[in-house]
């Protein structure tokens, strides 16, 4: 072999090695960017929705206190609860851009005890322990009848690690279909996203803010 | 020039171009991973704290409704507000690991109008528009006297884009120093982090849950 050919072969090897290293670095960084925050929802081998450990790091949408729906509900004298709503970060970013929820969107509704006179708070209410965790998931392939399913992680001995969807006869299915502002979700209660939906024109034509069930 | 030398020169150029492309991609992905979520706090050229555009994507800590402090406060008949607390994600992860706040920790306290009878909510209260935004920042070099400073983004015509620290004579400084469970922060009101601080033993020995100012 001519010495020049050796030189060409050597340079070819150096170039390939350098590019392999650079591309590996790019791939590794790309994977890291994609896996934080972790993808949700996740499912158990038997097809149950797993309770996410990190939902408090998802994007917060709103809180209510003592929310009740419908004329039959009475709150006087009842102990009140805060409800905090979180959504998967990737779905949130998609909603900011399009005003719609992508497939695999997942919400967590966390109920917490409302407490009074904690530390220096002499008026009003602050949040205590978890009283319940519910979820909704959009997955058109898994839930072809409407695309959404609803879940409760409440069990007889506290929270369960995974759960099957509530039966489609549960009240949440019809209530979310009938009373929501955007695609089965109560965006009318999420002040920042309600503005986005108004601006992008994605509020359902059937949404009536004065409607009471 | 010998034809072989042309070939070597051409391959060298191809190798350099390929590696430049790959390294640029790696650098771009690396920057993207680091800037999402963006680092906070940021300061204007004149040293004012800039109001973060994306604090709703920080980590949510808690909400209260109608919180008041001290015996002189009266809430009866007053319109109530929700307060939502957010913290920079990197500081949150550090707190989970150590029970303490690193330098450059930043909190946002967002006040929102408490509304009744919105859509199908027939009892309780839901969140409306922003009524005020406040912040606190830990920065030992910038604020050597105690390490923390407090800010209000409320201006006469609404929210301002940046603001100087409140004077150290403002009530927030002494209140945060005297009544907080962990390092000038009201961790006693952040249920998930209060558990972390208890477990890691970082609650101040002077913290008295029964103390009223």
CATH numbers and ranges of domains, chain A: 49-200 (3.50.70.20)
Long-range interactions of B73-80: CB distance < 8 A, separation 24+: B73/A122, B73/A123, B74/A123, B75/A123, B75/A124, B79/B113, B79/B114, B80/A124, B80/B114, B80/B125
Query: Looking at residues A178-202, what average pLDDT do you find?
Result: 96
Tokens of A76: 């006087």
Angstroms from B46 CA to nearest CA on chain A: 30
Residue A140: Cβ within 10 Å count: 12
8 Å CB contact of A82 and B89? no
Tokens of B83: 């307060």
Angstroms from B53 CA to nearest CA on chain A: 12
Task: Evaluate the CA torsion angle B208, B209, B210, B213 in order and state its sign.
Answer: positive
**Residue A178 and residue B163: Cα distance in Å, rounded?**
45
Mean pLDDT over the full length of chain B = 84
Q: Which residues in A lie closer than 8 A to residue B57 (C-beta atoms)?
A: 59, 89, 92
**Residue B203 and residue B180: Cα distance in Å, rounded?**
9
**Residue A95 and residue B56: Cα distance in Å, rounded?**
14
Q: Which residues in B lie closer than 8 A to residue A70 (C-beta atoms)?
A: 120, 122
Mean pLDDT over the full length of chain A = 84
For residue A69, what are the β-bridge partners?
B121
* Selected residue with higher pLDDT from A14 and A185: A185
pLDDT tens for A149-176 read 999 999 999 999 999 999 999 999 998 9
Asked if the model's pLDDT at residue A28 lies above 80, the reply is no
Query: Looking at residues B1-18, what average pLDDT do you find?
Result: 54
**pTM exceeds 0.95, yes or no:** no
For residue A126, what are the β-bridge partners?
A115
Q: Which residues in A lie closer than 8 A to residue B62 (C-beta atoms)?
A: 126-127
- Please enumerate in sequence order all residues whose Cβ is within 8 A of that of A158, keeping only pairs 6 or more positions apart, or say none: none
Query: What's residue A212's pLDDT?
Result: 78
Count helices and strands in chain B by DSSP H and E runs: 4, 9
Q: pLDDT-based confidence at A30, cuts 50/70/90?
A: very low
Concatenated DSSP letters for B86-118?
EE-HHHHHHHHHHSSPPTT-EEEEEEEEEESS-
N- to C-terminal Cα distance for chain A?
87
pLDDT tens for A32-72 read 444 455 568 999 999 999 999 999 999 999 999 988 765 44
**Secondary structure element (H or E) that encloses residue B153, with its range:** none
8 Å CB contact of A123 and B75? yes
Smallest Cβ–Cβ distance between B121 and the set A12, A64, A89 belongs to: A64
Smallest Cβ–Cβ distance between B120 and the set A14, A63, A213 belongs to: A213
Query: What's residue A68's pLDDT?
Result: 76
3-class secondary structure, A194: helix
Query: Looking at residues B43-54, what average pLDDT do you find?
Result: 96
Q: Which residues in A lie closer than 8 A to residue B189 (C-beta atoms)?
A: 118-119, 121, 126-127
**Residue A160 and residue A90: Cα distance in Å, rounded?**
25
Q: Which residues in A lie closer than 8 A to residue B129 (C-beta atoms)?
A: 191
Interface mutation vs chain A, best among B1, B20, B29, most A CBs within 10 Å: B29
Asked if the model's pLDDT at residue B37 lies above 80, the reply is no
Q: pLDDT-based confidence at A23, cuts 50/70/90?
A: very low
Task: Evaluate the CA torsion angle A158, A164, A167, A168 in order and state its sign.
Answer: positive
Angstroms from A18 CA to nearest CA on chain B: 7
Weakest mean pLDDT among A131-135, B94-98, B121-125? B121-125
8 Å CB contact of B68 and A12? no
Q: CA A155 from chain center: how many Å?
A: 21
């Amino acid at each position: 072999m001519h010495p020049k050919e050796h030189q060409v072969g050597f340079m070819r090897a150096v170039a390939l090695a350098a590019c392999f290293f650079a591309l590996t670095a790019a791939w590794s960084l790309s994977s890291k960017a994609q896996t934080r925050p972790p993808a949700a929802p996740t499912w158990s081998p038997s097809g149950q929705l797993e309770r996410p450990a990190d939902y408090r790091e998802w994007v917060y949408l709103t809180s209510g206190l003592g929310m009740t729906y419908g004329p039959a509900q009475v709150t006087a004298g009842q102990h009140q609860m805060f409800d905090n709503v979180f959504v998967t970060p990737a779905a949130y970013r998609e909603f900011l851009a399009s005003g719609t929820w992508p497939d695999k969107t997942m919400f967590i509704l966390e109920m917490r005890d409302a407490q009074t006179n904690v530390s220096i708070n002499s008026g009003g209410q602050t949040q205590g322990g978890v009283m319940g965790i519910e979820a909704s998931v959009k997955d058109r392939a898994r839930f072809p009848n409407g695309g959404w399913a609803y879940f409760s992680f409440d069990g007889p001995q506290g929270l369960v690690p995974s759960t099957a969807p509530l039966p489609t006869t549960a009240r949440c299915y019809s209530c979310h279909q009938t009373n929501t502002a955007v695609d089965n979700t109560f965006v009318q209660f999420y002040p920042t996203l309600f503005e986005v939906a108004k601006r992008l024109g994605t509020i359902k034509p059937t949404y009536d803010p004065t409607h009471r069930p």
